[in-house]
Structure formats: C-alpha cells, structure tokens
Structure 1
C-alpha cells in the first residue's frame, strides 16, 4: 500500500497560491537592507515624503529576516532571535505615528530591529555576512 501512495506523488497543493507567492517574492538584498537600516538609524531624520517608502522597505526586511529565522529554526535555537522575531511582529502591528519626531522614533526602532536580527542570523550562520 505504501508503494502505491509513493507513486501518486506529492500531496496536492494550491497552485494558484503557490503562483501568487512566487510572483510576490522579492529576493533578499542585504546591501539595500543595510542601507535602509542605516537611513532609519541616522541622526538626521528622513524627509516626510520619504518616510512611507522607507517604512515599507523596513517592514519587508523584517518579514524576510523573520521568515529566514523561522525556516532555519534559529528562533527555536536562540532566545535572542525568538525575541527579535516577536518584537518584529509587535512593531509591524503599530501604525506609523503622525508626529514627525514619533515617526522617526518608530523608524529607528524598526531599523534597529532589522540590524540586530540580521546580526543574529549572521552569527547563527543562517545568513552570510557582507564585506
């Protein structure tokens, strides 16, 4: 009976969901991630018109790093990674404050989390460091 099950192939998957995920996939760009984190952490806040785009990119970086951490099991092996992944989810749920100084503080917290999570993933060999 097991041989018959093996011949049937893998379980059915929702191909439309798979296609949607492939189309939406954005490759990991470590240099852009570092640049965006540095921009968020800079002492000089970005101009108000740049904030929404920077926020969107930082949240994408958090998602990518969180997915890598979970897929590699780093969040299970390292409490620091688990804490950062949890913190990422909390930050992601918060709206961007309207007041510019508060918005800059929010961007800095996200940028710091991106930077720390990237460092932890490099240390745990889930991500290669950059030169």
Structure 2
C-alpha cells in the first residue's frame, strides 16, 4: 500500500474515533467500562475528551500529510512516527493495569474478556502503593 493512502486511512479512522470521544464522552466511557459508579462524572468525561483530542490531532496531522506530502521518504517517516506514537499510547493503557491503577484492561462491556485476561492476577491498591514506595 502506498504511504499516502495508509496515512489517509489512519487519519480517517483516528478522526472518527477522536470525534466520537469528544461528541459523547459519557457514552464512549459506558461502551468501554459499562455503567459503573462515577462514569458520568465530569472528570471522567474531561479525561476522555483530552484523550480523544490527542487522537484527533494525530488524525488531522496524518490526513494533512497524506494529501500534501509528496516525498515518499518523508511520508514513510511520518507514518512510522504515527505507528510508534500509537504504540506508546496503547502501552500507557496497558501500563495502567500492570502498575495497579485499574483492576482490568478496558474492553467493551458487551462481551467477556479474552481468556488470557481472566487468569491475570489483580493487584490491590495497597500492593500498588507498596511497589511504588519500594
């Protein structure tokens, strides 16, 4: 696939996700975590909007460069940078689980998690605090 087409696809998908996170942050949170306590809070919605804004910004950069960057090497560098940035973004989501800030990975609440996630140990808050202190 040509780099410009890939940047346009990544940009279009990111634009849709970022817009959905900003248009209905409460609904987006509920689709991931279900109807849990505090899901309607302003803080939760503000955090989701900020995350959506970051995805939206990356999408706009990819769309702009996908239509305006003619040099193949520059386009490939931008696309590679986007992939690395998205990997770091997803790593922070997984890091919250492994550092003990949440008891499970966020996944759509309409189905059960994959089998690999069911058997993972859950850290309590005091264990996470002790790990950070020591």
TM range (shorter): 0.3 to 0.5
Q: TM-score, normalised by structure 2?
A: 0.40
